[in-house]
Structure 1
């Protein structure tokens, strides 16, 4: 196997690359606050929920150490070996995440492999299920910790639900203001969180050092062999310990590989390991006490019980702050993923607002925000407890991990140039483990796993309809249109009235005369002195250098064919990028941008099922204004309508 270093993005201007000590510390602290928020709050419920699957008839020592061993080795294999050491090297010019991997794989395969598009769309669809469940589950589990505070043991369910919903609604309502003003607190708060949970764990490990035997993987093997189908349910719950691992590669563009690896290996991983061991130690001590009194050990909220009574309330407050930060990271991730999906043509345009003048990644998408909040509220009322909701969590994350691993194989083989057999041998253990975890979570579909599957199904239908509808609409427009080269020749032979100025016609197919141009000639009987047929394309790289974006081809003295190329993370600004070309928009008469507004109608020869046409009509009609998306001033836009039959 050729073990080439990944030829990706160390030289990219957008990639943080190598850092000085102070810069590295600042980026690592920032990564701790953003990247690890989700996985960092898993101790609130992961060990408790995994142990709950074996709690019928009491819990014994082998079950405590077996569940603990499964959790520890999941962190080692899935997070440390797969994500931190291996997948973090698969960056697309500094950017990570499932859609960045899809874009990298599409570039490596020349865009000819349909499986790459299907994998990317599936991973994106599954992410939205995760984005709805994470805020609901994490905040609810933190608020439920108040029942462990002395004097609050009888707190009612309506009060817990009310407090959780108040926090969640407030969090989503604040998104419109952006996160720049509070992001500086994320790192220090999360750093204190990891120190606190690590210290709590160490305290209990000292009191029950025999818990360290859980590092022996035979405890996990014997547990799985001895528990049959119940062991698979436990494995599905154990997977809660690694939820949030996808953020390690998804946020590489913000922090760089080195700070993320350093933060995990030197700080976050040790803190999580200590905390899980501490919960196991507390369970072993409780088991000894129960056996001394001739009783069976029942499951409990081990995380909050680790703290002494006097510190229980402050721990609940700290946990709530940590879950808010974890929720914020997932919400921001949903914005970024949607922005990438729109740029890559997987979804219709949505309103995107910049919330920071300094950080291009600080965006707010009102449509995504309120849909997520609606989903979160529905989940809280439907499940009413974190334990009931936990069953719905793992299946979306495990599904995304399977997709990520499959894309990693394609990248290692086709992009890095590794031997396909060697690549398969390296990827196979990771894929087998992902599929095993996915299968274990599938068993919990009836308990709540159907929720992320339903969300993913809806998003998948939207993506499939949008891709199919756009392809068919473009095909029908080409069939009904006029070849641009022929039109240019005809207008040169019999020129119409020429008026001063430059006309920019936005089109998806530069070989066909835009409908807006034909309508302008038909109704206004005039042609501008300079006419630019402009297509805007999104590349499979996250960024395109501004100096290399514009490509021009002159057809004759009046017509030019232009192409603007953007990366899927670039901010689109068509007027500014056209103006970079000297003399292109100069001259008298000013510049007008012509945009064709197409209305979708049912055709006599349907090319799509009626239901898909109806959905595509809805998506097309409700897509955001293209002039705003392309940053074109409204007072310079001329819109001309046309009809397309599908």
Structure 2
């Protein structure tokens, strides 16, 4: 065989791609503004309910000012340690060629091993599954908490809070099909105004009671926990609401790059969040703990209350949009990494390949969010369900980050252990505190994460067993090529491309074509599509061509897990390698497998897994559509496989 080009499954990326989002300094302010809207929309809405929930779990002792300062201290240091230090300083550095997120971190950790251990994949599955649990909670609790501000504007409108919330959520999901490119232009400015309003609102109350700044002392927070040991877990669970959305710093890393995200955090987001939380504390101390129900809204002057509710609603819609878009991106990555079955992916932008819309995911998310709003009815009740999924993602991120620190960054084991112990204590406390609310609503995201984990694991396990079974029954490709070169069947003009996932075996479609048609094309290409552990693959490294003889060639196309697999476009690159690819003279042969579960119920786990896998495979999107192959050039040959 003559090798024309070289590429492997873990294909590298040249220096120009290491940070594909690197921009000149003149672009930095614009990117930072965009990051404010997309990255920090979720954490920016936390002040609406975080301090309120923390204040409600205090036991109401006589020395209430000490308790308020203690709660504020815990919020300040949760933001500092978890977001500013862990995520901004460390996690955002663990990029996989510029991309972030749980699956990117998993791929980065796996690349450090010759034979990656199974537990890294398990962590990736768990992290991705828990993100789905978070995705149905965030829009519900964010929008509901903002609309609840109407109770203060017009108490008679309380019964309309849930219906208005439902209408807003329906609208948010309905416009997803049109894409977020045009709408997202206003995300940054609106969210920037939101943060400035948060800061100014808080500062006006701090000036009236500057003693609230004593909460900077971390000892006040620790003292609160030790003197309220009986409710410590409940308090930590409420405090955690202040840092929900921190994972977006890493998930959206590939959209903006690290510099704009860091600049936006320290330049605007962090200071404004601190000012607002201190301002809420100062307001509570001024008017008395027992006279406040919702400090975020009540500390606003009467004339500003309605505009504030409108601005808060816009901010929560933006926060919801960010997590919905993130769910599409995560699903697209999971499909590319063979962790989920193929689904319809629609591109909503002609210039930005990352802007996608997935109808199936959109519908499932919308139904889940609407059901939560109706079932819980208030942000107070929903806050109990919030946190367990996000804190779980943080634990997974920390675990994978430690692997990267040790094996990729070459940190000394002692430094890795020290870092791990400190943040495992913090993240572990958050997770345990949220897990304690399992029966108060925390079971919702936990159940969603469990279902998604089962689906992912069943899909990967089913694919593995199907590949093993197919490999046992197949004919070696080299054997078939040698035989056909000795005894050629009737040749017909044109090129036939046979898709197969197995690089060694003869494609089932080729065998059945020979069996039924008894002819062979003048040019026959055995095409295998692979997914790289890198998010994107350079065009000059995307395609490999190996020539067997004058009749047969092997083509391997490697896409990054963030790329949309477009076979015709990829094959057009073969012209540079000597193959004059012409779509109009090419036929694509695909094997459509009809799966049938085995009738042996010996292993109950295997029995229901096979049935779940079969169901998922039947509902998977068509390969022709997924790989963007023109339907008029496709020949599908059906086969039945018994699992």
TM norm structure 2: 0.95
Spell out, residue by residue over 1:405-462, the C-alpha distance to the aligned partner (whole angstroms, 9 max, x if none).
0000001111122222322222321122101111111111111111110000000011
Partners of 1:586 and 1:49 in 2: how far apart? 63
Partners of 1:58 and 1:361 in 2: how far apart? 54
Change (3 A) 1:420 1:10: farther
Deviation of 1:298 (Å): 5.2
Q: State which of 20, 24, 32 in structure 1 corresponds to 2:25.
A: 20
Stretch of structure 1 that moved more, 104-113 or 362-371: 104-113
Asked if structure 1 preserves the Cα contact closer than 8 Å seen for 2:13 and 2:538, the reply is no
CA RMSD of aligned residues (A): 1.7
Change (3 A) 1:588 1:567: closer
**Partner residue, 2:257:** 256
Partners of 2:13 and 2:410 in 1: how far apart? 13
**Partner residue, 1:491:** 484
Deviation of 1:47 (Å): 0.3
Deviation of 1:585 (Å): 4.5
Change (3 A) 1:641 1:47: same
Partners of 1:384 and 1:589 in 2: how far apart? 58
**Partner residue, 2:434:** 441
Between Structure 1 and Structure 2, how many residues are aligned?
628
**Partner residue, 1:533:** 526
Partners of 2:297 and 2:363 in 1: how far apart? 32
**Partner residue, 2:87:** 83
Partners of 1:99 and 1:559 in 2: how far apart? 36
Partners of 2:67 and 2:88 in 1: how far apart? 29
Q: State which of 581, 585, 593 in structure 1 corresponds to 2:588.
A: 593
> Stretches of 4+ moved more than 3 A in 1?
7-11, 55-59, 585-589, 604-608
Asked if structure 1 preserves the Cα contact closer than 8 Å seen for 2:568 and 2:583, the reply is no
SS of equivalent residue, structure 1 residue 323:
helix
Deviation of 1:629 (Å): 1.1
Map 1:169-568 to 2 at 5 A: 169-287=170-288, 297=290, 299-568=292-561
Partners of 1:502 and 1:408 in 2: how far apart? 47
Partners of 2:471 and 2:588 in 1: how far apart? 21
Asked if structure 2 preserves the Cα contact closer than 8 Å seen for 1:59 and 1:299, the reply is no
Q: State which of 47, 53, 59 in structure 2 corresponds to 1:49.
A: 53
Deviation of 1:110 (Å): 3.0
Q: State which of 108, 113, 136 in structure 2 corresponds to 1:132.
A: 136
Change (3 A) 1:43 1:58: farther
TM norm structure 1: 0.95
Change (3 A) 1:89 1:587: closer
Partners of 1:204 and 1:10 in 2: how far apart? 50
**Partner residue, 1:635:** 632
SS of equivalent residue, structure 1 residue 624:
coil
Change (3 A) 1:386 1:10: farther
List gaps (5 residues or longer) in structure 1.
Answer: 1-6, 288-295
Q: State which of 102, 106, 109 in structure 2 corresponds to 1:98.
A: 102
Asked if structure 2 preserves the Cα contact closer than 8 Å seen for 1:51 and 1:299, the reply is no
Partners of 2:350 and 2:86 in 1: how far apart? 36
Partners of 2:611 and 2:372 in 1: how far apart? 28
**Partner residue, 1:291:** none
Stretch of structure 1 that moved more, 266-275 or 101-110: 101-110
Partners of 2:428 and 2:23 in 1: how far apart? 35
Stretch of structure 1 that moved more, 254-263 or 549-558: 549-558
Partners of 2:356 and 2:115 in 1: how far apart? 29
Asked if structure 2 preserves the Cα contact closer than 8 Å seen for 1:8 and 1:91, the reply is no
Q: State which of 30, 36, 40 in structure 2 corresponds to 1:32.
A: 36
SS of equivalent residue, structure 1 residue 530:
strand
Partners of 2:475 and 2:574 in 1: how far apart? 28
Asked if structure 2 preserves the Cα contact closer than 8 Å seen for 1:39 and 1:245, the reply is yes
Stretch of structure 1 that moved more, 617-626 or 416-425: 416-425
SS of equivalent residue, structure 1 residue 17:
coil
SS of equivalent residue, structure 1 residue 154:
helix
Asked if structure 1 preserves the Cα contact closer than 8 Å seen for 2:574 and 2:581, the reply is no
Deviation of 1:229 (Å): 2.8
SS of equivalent residue, structure 1 residue 131:
helix
Partners of 2:585 and 2:230 in 1: how far apart? 73
Deviation of 1:632 (Å): 0.7
Deviation of 1:625 (Å): 1.0
Partners of 2:427 and 2:488 in 1: how far apart? 65
Spell out, residue by residue over 1:509-528, the C-alpha distance to the aligned partner (whole angstroms, 9 max, x if none).
02111110011000001011
Asked if structure 2 preserves the Cα contact closer than 8 Å seen for 1:48 and 1:300, the reply is yes
Change (3 A) 1:414 1:461: same
Asked if structure 2 preserves the Cα contact closer than 8 Å seen for 1:9 and 1:15, the reply is no
**Partner residue, 2:9:** none
Deviation of 1:631 (Å): 1.1
Asked if structure 1 preserves the Cα contact closer than 8 Å seen for 2:148 and 2:158, the reply is no
Partners of 1:497 and 1:589 in 2: how far apart? 22
**Partner residue, 1:3:** none
Deviation of 1:589 (Å): 8.1
Change (3 A) 1:336 1:81: same
**Partner residue, 1:290:** none
Spell out, residue by residue over 1:7-48, the C-alpha distance to the aligned partner (whole angstroms, 9 max, x if none).
999742652225223x11100000001100000000000000
SS of equivalent residue, structure 2 residue 228:
helix
Partners of 1:469 and 1:206 in 2: how far apart? 63
SS of equivalent residue, structure 2 residue 133:
helix
Asked if structure 1 preserves the Cα contact closer than 8 Å seen for 2:341 and 2:620, the reply is yes
Spell out, residue by residue over 1:478-537, the C-alpha distance to the aligned partner (whole angstroms, 9 max, x if none).
111111111111212221111111111110102111110011000001011111111100
Partners of 2:322 and 2:203 in 1: how far apart? 28
**Partner residue, 1:293:** none
Deviation of 1:156 (Å): 3.0
Spell out, residue by residue over 1:533-568, the C-alpha distance to the aligned partner (whole angstroms, 9 max, x if none).
111000110010011111121122211122101111
Partners of 1:323 and 1:82 in 2: how far apart? 25
